[in-house]
């Protein structure tokens, strides 16, 4: 899971939701699989890319990003590694990604009103 700084209520709530989903499905929470990135452009794109590269070393079956900015960096890293979504890796981004219709792979996003 790629997340932001927990002082933001929405970021904290999303992280807690992630932990609850793991618990509900009897998946062990592993703190080392949580990567925190800066909440501001442009560093969040770069950090999303870096966090994804780091997570991919663990050969995850899925990656979930906490916002659209981190999603852009994550998708760049996934493409560079030649990974196919959804065949090789499940990917979910939180927040509607404005560029989603132009992304090179199927993209699942969680949108709240």
Sketch out the chain's domains with CATH numbers.
2-110 (3.40.50.2300)
Cα gap 35→47, rounded to integer Å = 9
Q: Are 3 and 66 in contact (CB under 8 A)?
A: yes
Q: Are 95 and 113 in contact (CB under 8 A)?
A: no
pLDDT value for 101? 52
pLDDT value for 100? 56
Phi, psi of 106 (to 5 degrees): -60, 140
Coil, strand or helix: which one is 94?
strand
The ranges of the chain with pLDDT < 50 are none
**DSSP-derived secondary structure letter, 84:** P
pLDDT value for 8? 86
Residue 81: strand pairing partners: none
Q: Are 93 and 76 in contact (CB under 8 A)?
A: no
The 10s digit of each residue's pLDDT in 48-65 is 999 999 999 999 999 999
pLDDT value for 95? 77
């Amino acid at each position: 899971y790629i997340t932001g700084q927990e002082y933001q209520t929405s970021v904290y709530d999303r992280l807690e939701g992630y932990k609850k989903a793991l618990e509900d499905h009897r998946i062990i929470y592993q703190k080392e699989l949580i990567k925190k990135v800066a909440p501001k452009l442009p560093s969040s794109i770069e950090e999303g890319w870096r966090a994804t590269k780091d997570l991919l070393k663990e050969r995850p079956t899925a990656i979930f990003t906490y916002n659209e900015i981190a999603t852009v960096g994550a998708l760049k890293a996934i493409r560079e590694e030649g990974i196919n979504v959804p065949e090789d890796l499940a990917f979910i981004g939180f927040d509607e990604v404005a560029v989603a219709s132009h992304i090179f792979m199927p993209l699942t996003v969680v949108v709240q009103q």
